[in-house]
Amino acid sequence: MSPLRLVLAAALALTLAACGSRHEVRVLGDGDALGTASPHAGTGSEDVAALPPRPLPTAEEIAAAPDPLTLKGEAADAVRAALGPASLLRREPPAQVWQYRGRTCVLDVVLYPDEAEGAPLTVAHVELRPVVAANAVAPKACAADVLQNRMARS
């Protein structure tokens, strides 16, 4: 057997051996705070603490949420007051894009400085989109989702 074939055969064997390695881990179930048995124990999955899913915003939360489409023309401080700090801040001089993420939608707020020198940033464009493309999302429902997500992170 040629040296090249030996090297290729060894590389293939090592690759296949790595695929077959198994790590012993345990998944934590609902009542698995410390040491109680889990129906998932020994399944080979990673240790994951099960968190109950957060409910979607209620009708009251949606009604109380700001309409993000009305932010157009507002100063950056008004956006912060309404939605809090952005999940992601992207600078694209002279603009800034503030991205807010909820479980069901993503809200992008595009801010530009006014024409005057040293003027504060103001909202030039607001765009919202669903996380799942096939699902429509209303602006106030998106804002409520973003606010709920922010509260869960704090």
The whole-chain average pLDDT of the chain stands at 75
| CA gap 65, 148 in Å, rounded | 10
Over residues 24-52, the mean pLDDT reads 43
pLDDT in tens, 98-149: 999 999 999 999 999 987 777 789 999 999 999 998 889 899 999 999 998 8
Band of residue 13 on the pLDDT scale cut at 50, 70, 90: low
Helix (H) or strand (E) holding 59: helix 59-64
> What's the pLDDT score for residue 6?
56
> What's the pLDDT score for residue 88?
96
Predicted model pTM: 0.62
CB 128, CB 139: distance < 8 Å: yes
> What's the pLDDT score for residue 20?
47
Tokens of 50: 């099960």
Which of the pair, 153 or 123, is modelled with greater confidence?
A: 123
Which of the pair, 61 or 44, is modelled with greater confidence?
A: 61
Which of the pair, 56 or 76, is modelled with greater confidence?
A: 76
| CA gap 60, 150 in Å, rounded | 17
Query: Closest Cα partner for 90 from 71, 66, 72, 106?
Result: 106
Which of the pair, 138 or 38, is modelled with greater confidence?
A: 138
> What's the pLDDT score for residue 35?
38
Cross-strand pairs, 17: none
Query: Which residues contact residue 71 at a Cβ distance below 8 angstroms, ignoring those fewer than 6 apart?
Result: 78, 79, 82, 109, 123, 126
